[in-house]
């Protein structure tokens, strides 16, 4: 009976040792991955600082605006309760409406030569 218990305990210790070795390897791989990701984020931050540094902020403002519009349009398309065909139709209608208003505004100004005075 002693040999059986001793054998079971040796097997349990072996499995615990193997588990510890496995978790150590996983921990090392995760730490290496985090280090690489941290390094990449630092590089991207430095590139962004180089892009945005300087006196002329026009490029930064345009890029920020375009990114905001892109995120807004993407979110609107993802969370819209209508189908894609309906959304495209609504977008087309809005673009047509805005175009009509712009044409109407500029045709009124050029026809009278004043801005409503």
Whether residue 87 contacts residue 77, with contact meaning beta carbons closer than 8 Å, is answered with yes
**pLDDT for residue 104 is more than 60:** yes
Cβ contact 60:51 at 8 Å: yes
Are residues 63 and 83 located together in one domain of the fold? yes
State the chain's mean pLDDT as an integer: 80
Question: Any residues with CB less than 8 A from the CB of 77 and at least 6 apart, and which?
Answer: 87
**Which tokens go with 78?**
């993802």
Same domain for 60 and 49: no
Task: Give the span between the Cα atoms of 91 and 85, in whole angstroms.
Answer: 10
The reported pLDDT for the residue numbered 116 is: 53
Claim to verify: residue 62 and residue 49 sit in the same structural domain: no
Q: Is 1 helix (H, G, I), strand (E, B) or coil?
A: coil
Alpha-carbon span 40 to 38, nearest angstrom: 5
Tell me which residue range forms the domain holding 110: 56-117
* 25 and 38 in a common domain: yes
**92 and 76 in a common domain:** yes
pTM (whole model) above 0.85:
no
């Amino acid at each position: 009976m002693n040999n059986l218990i001793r054998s079971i305990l040796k097997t349990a210790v072996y499995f615990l040792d193997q588990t510890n070795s496995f978790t150590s390897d996983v921990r090392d791989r995760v730490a290496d991955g985090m280090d690489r990701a941290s390094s990449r984020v630092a590089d991207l931050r430095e590139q962004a600082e180089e892009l945005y540094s300087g006196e002329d902020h026009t490029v930064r403002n345009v890029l920020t605006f375009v990114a905001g519009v892109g995120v807004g349009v993407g979110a609107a398309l993802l969370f819209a309760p209508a189908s894609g065909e309906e959304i495209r139709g609504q977008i087309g209608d809005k673009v047509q409406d805005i175009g009509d208003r712009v044409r109407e505004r500029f045709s009124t100004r050029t026809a009278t030569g004043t801005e409503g005075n």
